Amino acid sequence: MATNEYYMPTEWRIKGDIWEVFEICSNFPDYQRWWPSVYLKIDSAGKDLETGGEVYAILSKSKLPYKLRWQSCKTGEQAPHSISLKGTGDLTGHGTWTFQQDGDYVNARFDWYVTADKPLLKYLSPIFKPLFRANHYWAMDRGKESLERELERRRKAGISDLG
């Protein structure tokens, strides 16, 4: 594995229904609303030539003082159990969300295989890889907190997108 390549699995246990969690996580353009600590801007950027799926231009940030510009699109989806995606730009790679209902909870897992192509990250990864990895997990922790708030907001508003 090159020094600027990362595999970063994340596991969340969220109180809720698999369909609710899947619907929120599969709606990429809405991330900037419910996960604003990381996703600053998401715009439609056309169709992916390979998959025909919608491509989104993303501006994201994290705890460290840099921003990432990248594009993402879905490469597969099996509602409500999985979403696959690919990324290009400052981050190039692929990821898969998987969801499993476990009683009143959903076990959500995100497996992210990514190459940091932003020059700052690419050239400093040999030294700062543990710091960059910790930065990713900080962002994912914010995502779990934000998803829990979004589920609560939907419940209070009476919004249900159950399959």
User: Does the structure show a pLDDT above 70 at 160?
Assistant: no
User: Tokens representing 69?
Assistant: 């510009």
- List pLDDT tens digits, range 36-67: 999 999 999 999 999 899 999 999 999 999 99
As a whole number of angstroms, the distance between CA 104 and CA 83 comes to 21
Give tens-digit pLDDT for 68-81. 999 999 999 999 99
Q: In this model, does residue 163 exceed pLDDT 50?
A: no
Instruction: Give the Cβ contact number of residue 140 at 10 Å.
Output: 19
Whether omega before 9 lies within 30 degrees of 0, making that bond cis, reads no
> Using CA atoms, how far apart are residues 75 and 83, in angstroms rounded to an integer?
8
Convert the pLDDT of each residue in 93-129 to its tens digit: 999 999 999 999 999 999 999 999 999 999 999 999 9
Q: For 5-155, CATH number?
A: 3.30.530.20
Provide the pLDDT for residue 161: 52
Distance linking the first and last C-alpha atoms of the chain? 40
Beta partners for residue 68, in sequence order = 60
Its pTM stands at: 0.93
Taking phi over 0 as left and psi of -120 to 50 as alpha, with beta for the rest, 68 belongs to: beta
